[in-house]
Amino acid sequence: MPLPLEDYALIGDTRTAALVGRDGSIDWLCVPRFDSGSVFAALLDQESSGRWLLAPQGGVRKVERRYRPGTVLLETVFETDDGAVRVVDGMPVHGQYPSVVRLVQGLRGRVPMRMELVLRFDYGSIVPWVRSVDGVLLAVAGPDAMALTSDVETRGNDTDAMPATVATFEVGEHQEVAFNLGWYPSHEGCPDLDGMAGLANTDRFWREWSGRSVYDGEWGDLVQRSLLTLKALTYAPTGGIVAAPTTSLPEHLGGVRNWDYRFCWLRDATFTLYALMTAGYLQEAIEWRDWLLRAVAGDPADLQIMYGPAGERRLTELELPWLSGYGSSRPVRIGNAASQQYQLDVYGEMMDALHQTRRRGGSIDPEPAAWDLEQVLMEFLESGWRQPDEGIWEVRGPRRHFTHSKVMAWVAFDRAVHAIERFHLDGPVERWRALRDEIHQEVCARGFDPDRKSFVQFYGSKNLDASALMIPLVGFLPAHDERVVATIDAIERELLHDGFVARYETSEQGEVDGLPAGEGAFLPCSFWLADCLSMIGRKRDAIALFDRLRGVANDVGLLSEEYDPEAKRLVGNFPQAFTHVSLVNTACNLSGGAHGPALHRSRHHVDG
């Protein structure tokens, strides 16, 4: 059984990332990109699928860990009967290819240590050819190669069941032992590994980056950790931000809702821009905006809900039957078939993201060609908004007229109208204004159930959906509108379970997507509820909910996609960019007053 997700920490180099367990084992790493095949996949199966263990050889009495302040360099302190050691884990950010540096530092006594390296390419399916050349351990299979340098002698364990490279050594007080493992294309020569110099430069890079934050609210440490996580999930060559560095971590242990999140979702666009802009990271916001423009260029009818880190469109979904899955949660999937779904809300997200950057002005203002793209999107949406879609939750069932989707279509027309009115751009403003009003009237008539006195999941449905919390957040209706207040009350009453918000009632899931019931509470929805509570004047309740949410972050401040209140465990892909973006925005909403993202995005502040 793998470690609980709470026991993992993230290290990364803004091209890919690894998960390091409290036990000293790196159980997940894909190289050279987030969406490449893994070299360590023990997270989804067992040690034989690839891992890198570095820990005391005997029993461990206590483990404490932290990130170095302002960085994603991880420090884990192991207390044993023989003494104490610190293991520092990091990935150099400026290397030619991805690498992992692991440094063992003796703190007290003399501690026996063990290193065990199990390299398996392509999600655990390929055992490489391993040999030593001039003191460097080389592992090669097909296009992939790994090189290991170390301060201690390594050897093969000669075990047929699980071939591995091992080392045993002792570390005394003030002693240091370093390991450096790097990937490179097998057709090239082994590159020089940065080692300790790379780790020092990486420390400096992260400290300088985190020092640029302008957030000065109450929850500074947690917001900084979320921003650092967001940066670590950025694919630096393009500016794209992946939803998570992992695939197939289940929404319910033992369940089938196991999806690949190593891609970039348009749905996260506006929230992400707000988090970056509000915290002062304008360059990152510009790079994300530019990634959006490149990714969606082309026929608007072909707009996808997600793309690869460089804007790739073909994200073919496959199942990997040789992996047993996290906690036996099968199938393990790579790729994501939802990339081919039709989802109206992404048009609204694109238009809102570009509108918000235009409002910001200065260097982040969209380039002139952006309006040409926006007009093409709107021309398609003039008829496209009338079609049913798969909705925000990417249901794998019949298309429906989802209320949230129609609200976001309204957002698209609303932002287009404001772009013409405020920024004097050319476009058919009267036609778009009429369509905006038509959508608004339809949603209020067909998406609101007068008997339930709340907005519902889709036209004709009686079910609640937490995506209705977006109605005041995007300015579709004022927060104090009685229909909005009643909807917030209904969601709080019926979807708030054990203090966390479910996307919708799981007992009704079969009606929506045909998959077996069972999932955790979707953490971004809980942050949205906190935002809404604050907007309707219930700030004390909003802060209480926010405190509850930050309380489920693990010991190094990381959050996954969902939380299981009954098992008291994080579930879903980890760490989740959308959750950390939501945390940043809610913290700004609760500490920024009239300057928070929620009020800026709402209708009353669209032109503010």
Q: Which pLDDT score, from 0 to 100, does residue 195 have?
A: 79
Q: Which pLDDT score, from 0 to 100, does residue 510 have?
A: 42
Strands 500-501 and 496-497: antiparallel
Q: How many Cα neighbours within 13 Å face the side chain of 532? A: 31
Rounded Cα distance between 583 and 431, Å, is 38
CA–CA distances in Å: residue 126 to residues 27, 139, 321, 322: 16, 11, 14, 11
Q: Which of 68, 323, 339, 333 is nearest to 205 (CA)?
A: 68
Rounded Cα distance between 98 and 314, Å, is 24
Ordered mean pLDDT values, 10 residues apiece, the chain (608 residues): 93 98 98 98 94 95 98 98 98 94 98 97 96 94 97 84 91 97 95 85 97 94 98 97 98 92 94 92 93 93 95 97 96 96 94 90 75 95 97 88 98 97 95 98 98 96 96 96 98 95 71 60 96 96 97 98 94 98 95 65 51
Joined together, the tokens standing for residue 329 give 């949660």
Rounded Cα distance between 325 and 78, Å, is 29
Identity of the amino acid at 146: M
Q: Please spell the DSSP secondary structure of 216-230, one letter per residue.
A: -STTHHHHHHHHHHH
Q: Which pLDDT score, from 0 to 100, does residue 397 have?
A: 81
5-189: what fold? Beta-galactosidase; Chain A, domain 5 (2.70.98)
Strands 500-501 and 521-522: unpaired
Range list for CATH 2.70.98.40 in the chain: 5-189
> How many CB atoms sit inside 10 A of residue 473's CB?
22
Joined together, the tokens standing for residue 24 give 């000293």
Q: Which pLDDT score, from 0 to 100, does residue 465 have?
A: 97
What's this model's pTM, rounded to 2 decimal places?
0.95
Q: Please spell the DSSP secondary structure of 41-54, one letter per residue.
A: -GGGS-GGG-EEEE
Q: Which pLDDT score, from 0 to 100, does residue 579 have?
A: 98
CB 586 within 8 A of CB 527: yes
Q: Which pLDDT score, from 0 to 100, does residue 605 have?
A: 45
